[in-house]
Amino acid sequence: MSIDYLRISVTDRCNLRCVYCNPLGESGFINHDEILKFEEIHRIVRLLAGRGIRKVRLTGGEPLIRKNVTELVKKLASVEGIDELALTTNGILLGEMAAELKDAGLDRVNISIDSVGRDNYKDITGFDFLEKATEGLHKALEVGLGPVKLNSVIIKGVNDSAEQILLLAGMSLKLPVTVRFIEYYPTGNNTRPAGDYVPNGEIKKIIEGKFGQLGNIINGKSDGPASSFKIEGSAGSIGFISGRSSVFCETCNRLRLTSDGKIMPCLYSSQQYDLKKLIRYEATDDELLEYFKMILDKKSEYTKLTSTSSDFLMQDIGG
């Protein structure tokens, strides 16, 4: 599998406190000096484009709370070889920022909305911001930051009622969005127990019970590990990302870059490569390229089956 996708966490800070991600607001304490500067991120992307990276996603924490993030988008959009620049956000600030992000060269967004019930959304995120997130979604569609995907993590006893799942799936009926159900992956302390994940097979059954059998659709270029389906006659589609109940290591095409400059080749491994250290010790481009080659060569050694850690916060590594 060629590695052509880089996910970059641009900040570990977030304006929500999701129960499955970072409910107590821990982290957010990485010193500003330790966070990669825009010039450093730009250099990494420029060099990795020379090693085959074609798609970049900005994530976090919440990427839209990183000061002047639009400037970063502008810089990355002009890197030769990058065909797609995307961003994953909770959508809260998208209403006010979508147009400037589009103008700066952002291609598309994924928006995390785990429930479309106002109280339920508040229970999950800690904030009464569903309306703002929905406004962000509509603005993204309006300015053409599509295809837009909605990410939902379903947690047992929190947002797993058939009613909420059907409301989420139903968003794809009229809107040209892909509603994606992502299986919960247990991470650092104080998040939910591993057993609180709901297998996507159960979610699919609930959706089919109401809307009839889902039609299988061929994955698009941007669908990654999702399996994609459609409710008959709908404007959008439905995706399932089943990182717990299935293994998709053979099709994994990504690297992750943490906000403090470490490369993580695999979500299921604690192995990190400290790129920032090299950069700040003034490594040359050639030295960095050698380092990337070593990481890329080793990537296939890490798989879910050799899993060593889930002792991190998703907020630090960007999902």
Interface contacts to ligand SAM, rule CB under 6 A: 14, 20-21, 59-60, 62, 88-90, 112, 151, 153, 182, 184-185, 187, 314-315, 318-319
Closest separation between CB of residue 60 and ligand SAM, Å?
5
Q: Quote the CA–CA distance of 144 and 226 in Å, as a whole number.
A: 22
Closest to ligand SAM by CB, 199 vs 215, is 199
CA 156 to chain centre: 21
Q: Which residues of 254-291 are buried (b: 16+ CB within 10 A; e: fewer)?
A: bbbbbbbbbbbbbbbbebbbebbeebeeeeeeeebeeb
Closest separation between CB of residue 258 and ligand SAM, Å?
12
Closest separation between CB of residue 112 and ligand SAM, Å?
3
Closest separation between CB of residue 20 and ligand SAM, Å?
5
Closest separation between CB of residue 288 and ligand SAM, Å?
26
Is 199 in contact with 85 (CB distance < 8 Å)? no
Which residue minimizes CB distance to ligand SAM? 319
Q: Which of 157, 235, 238 is nearest to 196 (CA)?
A: 157
Closest to ligand SAM by CB, 182 vs 263, is 182
Q: Quote the CA–CA distance of 78 and 235 in Å, as a whole number.
A: 32
Quickly tell me which residue has 């129960």 as its tokens. 19
Closest to ligand SAM by CB, 22 vs 292, is 22
Closest to ligand SAM by CB, 62 vs 107, is 62
Residue 236: DSSP 8-state: S
Closest to ligand SAM by CB, 151 vs 258, is 151
